[in-house]
Each structure stands twice: as C-alpha cells, then as structure tokens.
Structure 1
C-alpha cells in the first residue's frame, strides 16, 4: 500500500501534517525516492534509505496499512460543480456501489480553481481515501502525480480532455447518441435542424457535435454552420441558443439540444414566443434526467446511463484495493433514444397532415 501523511508535533507544540513531499525536501531526494523507501522497494541506495527512514521515524510518518480481506473504506467523488441534476444521478450510482462494498463516499466540488483543488488534495491525504472518481474535469498533472505517489486509484468520468494513458475513464457513447437524435429528426422529415452544443472543452460535447454532423452528412444534408450555436449544458444557454436560432432568416424546424437542461431552456424560449412543441418546432435533448418525462410536453431525448457510469467508476476504483486490475482503461456505455411527445414532422409536411 502507498504512503499517506501522519500527524506529528511541530516545533511550536501544535499539531501538523508531514507529507512525503516534506520528507523528500528535508532528505534532499525526490518524492518518488521517498515513496520507494516507504513501500519497501529495494532500488534505493543504503545511505539514502537510512537518511529517509530516520526522517520518517523522527516525524512520525505512517503509511496506510491494509488488513486481510481489506475493502476500500472511502471513495472521493469530485465534481467541477454540483449545480446540475445529472450530478445527482452519478452520485446515486457511486453511492450504491460504495454502500454495498461497506465504503463511504465523500462528495466535493472544486469549481475548476487551483486553490480548491489543492485544498481537496490536502483533505484527501488527511482522510487516506481509498479511491477517487473525478467527473467532467481536466486532470491536473500535479494532482495526478500526487495520487500516483500515494497509490490512490483514480477513475475519470466524462473527462474534459484526453487523460493520461494509465488513467481509466468511464463515459457514454456520445457520438452515436448525437447521431441517433439527429437521425430521428431527419426521419421525421426535418432538414433544417439546429444544434445547441455543450462546452467545447468537454470530449462528450465534441462527440455529440460529431454525431450530429455525421447524421446530416449520411443523409446527404449539408451542414449549415449557422444552425450550430454554443451552449454550456445549462437552461440559460438553451434559452439563448434557441432565441438565436429563431432569429435566423430561415429558422430551423427542429432543435437538438446537447443536454436536457438546454432542451428545457429551448422549450421555454418557444413558449414565450407563443410557439408550440412539437407542432411548430420539435425539440430533442440528451441525458434523460428524471424530470423531463414530466415536462410539457414530455421530452424526446437520448438516455445516457448516468447512474450506471457512477457504478462502473466506483467498481473500478474499488477493484485495485482488492488486488485486481481494472478491466479496461476506457469503458463506454451505450446510449438510447427515448421517444416522447416533443418531436413530430415539420409543420405543413405530408406526414403531419395524415
């Protein structure tokens, strides 16, 4: 097992926390060298080992230990923010697996700020977490290195960018989901289909956009860049995006919003203009959040298995604590088009009049 910090008396008599970084600095060696000494590795010179061990003893540094049959006691679940309903679904999946394994779950939000991330890492070292699930965030190289040194298993859910090759990731089939949503609208007879995208920094956003483009190209429909407007997965951007699309000289007859929250925002924009869904304009979302089946009208959407993504991530971080390797470095769960009442053929089409 990897090392974690231990509390020790400071010179002033208070309580402090000595980390492997502190020990490395005082010993004049690298952090990986200290980690090798703590973990009993043989590839350290006798003199260096003696110097590091003396510092470890002097400062009361203790490594985490495992008892036979040990299972993870704590999972850290980290979001950029928590003000989205889909976060609740992922938490539900992680907590279900953690509870069944006898583990606790600590939920944190770091808001993309480096200070918050550093504070979270200090807290993680203090509580000796047994695994980390990081959701829709870029993996800071410094934090990644620290987790590797501590030996804490890590899984990234819906990574913001391309994570390190040795980091398992869990996601959904976003490209095929974007294709399914667009192909459904094409099958209904729509040819001017607007798209409100997600944040371009996220892989899932780019994959949904790729699916939209692929479906149009596969149907022989040219991609009109004016029909693609930016969003950020939140209600307000769906509202603004739909307003922008309706302001075009030739508005779309359907809108694919790359999240359910944006789809609900788009429906509100239509309602305020006195337009009806789907009679005047069809709307498709992405996520299948619990509330969209109760929207007016119930939302046609692409279901991504958010709770299942949380479950897979939790199982993956728990597995190394039982001396097993992750099944795969990349797990991609399937998406499914859910048909409800927010889509119909375009106004005036033969299909609509039948």
Structure 2
C-alpha cells in the first residue's frame, strides 16, 4: 500500500504545489532540482524535504541549464527571425535553453500551456508582441514566474519589465526626413494599434507634422497588420485617392514591400513618383529595388536584452530599470527623394 501511495503522489505532485508549500517561485524549486547555486542552504533544505515528503519524481536526466520560454505571435517574418537570433545568442552566452511557443495572434496562456510551463520548471517567459490571457496573467503571478515583455500589448503592462525601441522618435524621424525632402502629403500605414510600438510611431508622425505646421489628414492613415498583403491593400487605397500622397511611411519593412507592389500595379515609380519609408531594417530592405529607406530597430539587441533581464529576475536579482528602450536609427537608401515634377504640378493644380 505504501508503494502504491508513493506512486500516486509521484503522478499528482507538481512543481507548482511544491513551490506553493515552500512559499517560493517555481523557478526556485527548479533550481534546487537542477542543483544550481544562488539559493540559501535553509531554503534548499526546506524544498528538498518537501520534494521527498510529497514523493516528487526526480528524473535523472533533468537539465543543468536554465530554461526560457520564448512566446511570439508568428515565425513567418524576417522580423521574428531577427528577434529569435538575438534571444538565442544571449541564451547561449548565459548557458540557457529556449522553448519557443507561437501564438498565431491569440492570447498566450491556456491552462495546458501553464501546466507544461510549470512541469518543465521554466525559469521565466519572454513575451513578444503577444497578450497574456487574464487567467494566465494571474496564474504566472501566483507561481512567481518572471515575465519580460518585448513591444508590449495594451496598457496593463506596469507590473512587468518591458523592452522596446524608441518608436516615437522613429516615427518622428521618418516623417521629418520626408518633410525635409519637400513632401507635405505623407501617408502612414501602421501595424496593429493595440501594440504600443505602432501607436508610438503614429504619434511621432503626427508630432512631426504638427511641428512643421502641416495639416493632418485622417484619410492618409490606415491601420494594417505589418504584413505584405496589408501593405498592398492599404497602400493601394492610399494611391487610389484623388489627391494621393507623394510619400508613405509603413509600420514594417514587409508591409512597405506591399506598398511597392501596389505602386507597381499602378505604374507608379519609386522614388520618382512615390517615396516609401519602412520600419525594422530587416534583410528585405536591401533585396528590393530600389533599396528601402527605413527606421532601423535593434531587434536582435532587444531580444538579447529581454533574455538577459529575464535571467536576472529568475536568479532573484533586482532590475535597475524596468522600462528599457533601445535607440532606433533612420537608414536612408534609395526609396525616398524629393517629390517629382508631376507630383509638384498636381499639388499646384489642386491648390489653385
């Protein structure tokens, strides 16, 4: 009977239960199981006692490395590839492994995912432009699993460490570049405005127009999805306006490529008839013709910093700055120029 009871306990006891009984986080229990340093002897002894009393099965093949769950909305873009590259490089430098979860645009944190998370003893979660379901948010908080956000979603992010780029400055710089070339009718195709990064870029655009005393026009703004089909659809809408823009800023490079396609379908030349600016500076920028002017986002650096901060939190160390911003940079290539003669004449005719 005693053996049967122990086997039943081994099947039902979880890391989360051990952590709750010990008054510590799941990552702390995981570190005890993995024989890692950085835990007081008294706390280690208490956890070891609970593990033995509750019959928790100790697998001989348990990891010696830290484990990070990297949750991202999609892997189908060069943007995602750059983020993964940065996270993997930092994880390898720190001696950690990554587990990747793709949400396909849905909130992260189903009960099954939370159970797998705790069962494998993750050291924390890096969440990239994805939203946590309400239940997952509460459960991760209860389990004391640290979370770091890259490009946070929504407004309820104050309790988390966040990493982003200087998106407002990027939107401003892109707009000021076009204004400096002589453009005054500038379109903007955003990514999803639920993401703070896209809202900040749009705010930077409006600020630059205001400082230049150029009237804003809501018909020149479209909310897209950061992908090529969205750029083609909304770029086409802007280019079909009776008084179309002479320049368009796009919320991502892949979306900007969609604007290239829309312009090509209409016989509009870049940059002679239309200037285009993207965001991110992925490899695509130098593959297209003409090469794309864009706002460089330090994507790999953002993911590396988020990974470093998460491992710091998992060790129980304090974070000096919970709101990290890495600088963006305008990279001027061949897709922008002064408005062409035909465009200037059209503007003059419209004004008269």
Which of 118, 126, 149 in structure 2 is aligned with 1:133?
126
For the 8 Å contact 2:148–2:163, the answer to whether it is kept is yes
* Cα distance in structure 2, aligned partners of 1:350 and 1:248: 14
Partner in structure 2 of residue 78 of structure 1 = 71
2:225 is aligned with 1:232:
yes
Tell me what 1:257 maps to: 250
**How do 1:177-256 residues align onto structure 2 when only pairs under 5 Å count?**
177-256=170-249
Change in CA separation of 1:162 and 1:249 when aligned onto 2, cut-off 3 Å: same
Distance in structure 2 (CA, Å) of the matches to 1:17 and 1:172:
44
- In the other structure, the counterpart of 1:158 is 151
Is the Cα contact below 8 Å between 2:190 and 2:225 reproduced in 1? yes
CA offsets 1:245-264 (integer angstroms, 9 cap, x no match): 01111000000111111100
The offset of 1:138, in angstroms, is 1.8
Cα distance in 2 between the residues matched to 1:17 and 1:277: 63
1:326 equivalenced with 2:313 (yes/no):
no
Range moving further from structure 2, 78-87 or 222-231: 78-87
The TM-score with structure 1 as length reference comes to: 0.81
Give SS of 2:210's match.
helix
Unaligned stretches of 5+ residues in structure 1: 1-7, 25-30, 41-53, 64-69
- Give 1:219 deviation, angstroms: 0.3
Root-mean-square deviation over aligned CA pairs: 3.1
Structure 1: how far apart are the matches of 2:335 and 2:313? 44
Which whole-Å CA distance do the structure 2 matches of 1:298 and 1:59 have between them?
A: 62
1:271 to 259, 264, 273: 264
Task: For residue 143 of structure 1, report the CA deviation from its aligned partner.
Answer: 1.8
- 2:55 counterpart of 1:60: yes
Report the secondary structure of 2:99's partner residue.
strand
Partner of 1:104: 97
Counterpart-to-counterpart distance in 1, 2:148 and 2:24: 26
C-alpha spacing 1:37/1:179, structure 2 compared with 1 (3 Å): closer
Q: 1:62 deviation in Å?
A: 7.5
CA offsets per residue over residues 72-126 of structure 1, 9 Å max, x none?
6111100122222111111111111110111111111123446863332222112
Unaligned runs of 5+ in 2: 1-5, 30-48, 345-352
User: Which position in structure 2 is the counterpart of 1:18?
Assistant: 13
CA contact (8 A) 2:187 2:249 kept: yes
Aligned residues between the structures: 317
Q: 1:71 to 1:216 in 2, by over 3 A?
A: farther
2:23 counterpart of 1:36: yes
Contact 2:224 2:234 in 1 (8 A): yes
- Partners of 1:71 and 1:102 within 8 A in 2: no
Q: What is the CA deviation profile of residues 214-262 of structure 1, one whole-angstrom value per residue up to 9, with x for unaligned ones?
A: 0101100010011011211010010011110011110000001111111
Q: What is the CA distance between 1:9 and its match in structure 2? A: 3.8
For residues 279 and 164 of structure 1, do their structure 2 counterparts lie closer, same or farther at Cα, with a shift above 3 Å needed?
Answer: closer
Mapped partners of 2:57, 2:146: distance in 1: 19
Deviations 1:132-183 (A, max 9, x none): 1000012334223322333322101001112443310000111110000011
Distance 1:71 1:101 in 2: 12
**Cross-structure match for 1:144:** 137
What secondary structure sits across from 1:149 in the alignment? helix
